């Protein structure tokens, strides 16, 4: 197994990979609770969605771990489940069964694009500076999510965002977890982020900030209300609204995943010659999990940027993803315990990981204005728009324009010009 996952080449071991897998799972586990709540508002059975969420995470994480040897967790995307419910089902009035069929079709198209290596080709032609900007931008985005989940940053009508109540119990718990994790990390303790989460959870339970689980073992909800529903509605997708939905699922998931892969590969030191090794297999695994998730009964799956939490602990191979899948399998049986994994507990990990990922900003060529503008826009717009895909899109529009303005037309790959035009059309349409 060590040879299969290339432990020696990537300087890792079973303990390091296992801790990384558990850490990533704890950072992702909220999806088991949140996804059923969001999709339930579209009329879907919450119990069935819970089981579909866990199974799709198991399938996706195993696929990317075994096929591509990547330390990444895959599960239903938070942004796309909200789009599914609030924009498509509620806003456009599309029945959830038809919307889910749209997710399935988008997933099939993903598989085709991956097999033809079109997705891999697009990722490989992205300029190195933009790849660093994407990784750094996701770092700021992840940290912003952590600050928001901790209650350190809150919404404000006057200033858009503002400082939260730093004396409230949940915020103090998050700050405590942050300090413990940082101290462990600066002292060179392997797995400091993971141990910080565990200690914060224990303190939260003893202080009453986190409720004790009412049970240890729970039954696995029936998946039959959502399983295979997509096959009964394939004839309902040929309408302008649903076709537009399919395109949007395709667009957002494509670049969310591309951004996550670039960021994770950069953080783990896997990027070689501006290319991601086994990128084709990673993208195929991601596409395959999207198809499986739709059949099971959940919105589009994607590579989770929270995977960077496990990489910060030392995850370097697909064995980390195998552990993530195993944790989701256990979680199906011990679902009541998930209540102790609160946003305040996982927030410190996201803030720390965001800081680590943001170091990619130092690798950008800040002496070239044609690079500075698109890189800065890519970075800043990810947290401000709460969308990785939007930040990438804006950067991809500006980069060819900047290079064109400097008379460096031939230094930009033609695919970048095509993407720039497509993104302009996307923003006009949306």
- The mean predicted confidence, pLDDT, of the chain is 88
Residue indicated by tokens 């503002």: 162
Q: Mind listing the pLDDT tens digit for each residue in 1-21?
A: 999 999 999 999 999 999 999
At residue 430, the pLDDT reads 61
Number of helices and strands in the chain (H, E): 17, 4
List the single range of 52-61, 223-232, 336-345 with lowest mean pLDDT: 336-345
Mean pLDDT of 405-412: 85
**Dist CA 393 CA 105 (whole Å):** 23
Residue 308 Ramachandran class (φ > 0 left, ψ -120 to 50 alpha, else beta): alpha
Q: Pick the most confident of 26-40, 303-317, 369-383, 410-424.
A: 369-383
Quick: pLDDT tens for 18-27. Answer: 999 999 998 8
pLDDT digits (tens, 9 = 90+) for 202-253: 999 999 998 887 777 778 889 999 999 999 999 888 877 787 778 777 777 7
158-210 residue pLDDT tens: 899 999 999 999 999 999 999 999 999 888 776 788 788 889 989 999 999 98
pLDDT of residue 92: 78
Q: Which residue has the higher pLDDT, 330 or 213?
A: 330
**In 116-151, alpha helices (H):** 118-125, 128-150
Residue 308 near residue 165 (C-beta atoms within 8 A): no
Query: Which pLDDT value is given to residue 296?
Result: 97
Per-residue tokens: 204: 């939260």
DSSP category for residue 36: H
Going by pLDDT thresholds of 50, 70 and 90, the confidence category of residue 29 is confident
**Measured between alpha carbons, how far is 330 from 342 in angstroms, rounded to an integer?**
18
Long-range contacts of 412-420 (CB under 8 A, 24+ apart): 412/127, 413/125, 415/121, 415/122, 415/125, 416/125, 416/126, 416/127, 419/122, 420/396
Q: Coil, strand or helix: which one is 349?
A: helix
pLDDT, tens digit (0-9, with 9 covering 90-100), for 101-146: 999 999 999 899 889 888 778 877 888 899 889 888 888 988 898 8
Tokens linked to 322? 């195998």
Closest CA to 22 of 330, 340, 266: 330
* pLDDT single digits (tens) 273-303: 777 778 888 889 989 999 999 999 999 998 8
Residue (of 301, 286, 239, 297) closest to 39 by Cα position: 297
What pLDDT score was predicted for residue 237?
A: 83
Q: What is the pTM of this model?
A: 0.74
């Amino acid at each position: 197994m060590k040879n299969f996952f290339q432990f020696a080449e990537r300087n890792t071991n079973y303990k390091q990979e296992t801790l990384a897998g558990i850490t990533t799972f704890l950072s992702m586990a909220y999806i088991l609770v949140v996804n059923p709540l969001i999709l339930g508002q579209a009329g879907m059975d919450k119990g069935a969605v819970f089981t579909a969420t866990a199974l799709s995470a198991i399938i996706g994480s195993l696929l990317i771990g075994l096929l591509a040897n990547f330390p990444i967790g895959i599960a239903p995307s938070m942004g796309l489940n909200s789009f599914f419910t609030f924009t498509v089902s509620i806003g456009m009035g599309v029945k959830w069964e038809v919307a889910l069929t749209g997710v399935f079709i988008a997933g099939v198209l993903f598989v085709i694009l991956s097999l033809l290596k079109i997705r891999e080709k697009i990722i490989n032609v992205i300029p190195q500076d933009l790849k660093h900007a994407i990784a750094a931008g996701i770092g700021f985005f992840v940290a912003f999510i952590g600050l928001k989940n901790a209650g350190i940053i809150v919404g404000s009508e006057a200033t858009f965002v503002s400082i939260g109540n730093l004396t409230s119990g949940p915020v103090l718990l998050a700050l405590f977890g942050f300090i413990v994790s940082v101290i462990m990390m600066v002292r060179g303790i392997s797995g400091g982020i993971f141990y910080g989460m565990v200690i914060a959870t224990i303190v939260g339970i003893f202080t009453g900030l986190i409720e004790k689980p009412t049970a240890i073992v729970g039954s696995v909800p029936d998946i039959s209300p959502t399983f295979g529903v997509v096959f009964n509605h394939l004839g309902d997708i040929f309408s302008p609204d649903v076709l537009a939905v399919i395109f949007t699922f395709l667009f957002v998931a494509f670049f969310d995943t591309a951004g996550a892969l670039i960021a994770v590969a950069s953080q783990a030191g896997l990027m070689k010659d501006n290319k991601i090794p086994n990128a084709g297999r990673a993208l195929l695994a991601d596409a395959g999990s999207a198809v499986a998730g739709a059949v099971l009964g959940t919105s589009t799956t994607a590579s989770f940027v929270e995977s960077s939490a496990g990489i910060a602990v030392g995850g370097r191979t697909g064995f980390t993803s195998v552990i993530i899948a195993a944790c989701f399998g256990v979680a199906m049986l011990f679902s009541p315990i998930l209540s102790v994994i609160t946003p305040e507990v996982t927030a410190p990990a996201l803030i720390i990981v965001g800081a680590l990922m943001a170091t990619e900003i130092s690798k950008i060529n800040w002496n070239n204005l044609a690079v500075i503008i698109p890189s800065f826009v890519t970075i800043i717009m990810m947290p401000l728009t709460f969308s990785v895909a939007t930040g990438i899109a804006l950067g991809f529009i500006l980069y060819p324009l900047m290079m064109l303005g400097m008379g460096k037309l031939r230094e930009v790959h033609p695919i970048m010009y095509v993407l720039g035009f497509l993104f302009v059309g996307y923003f006009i349409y949306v």
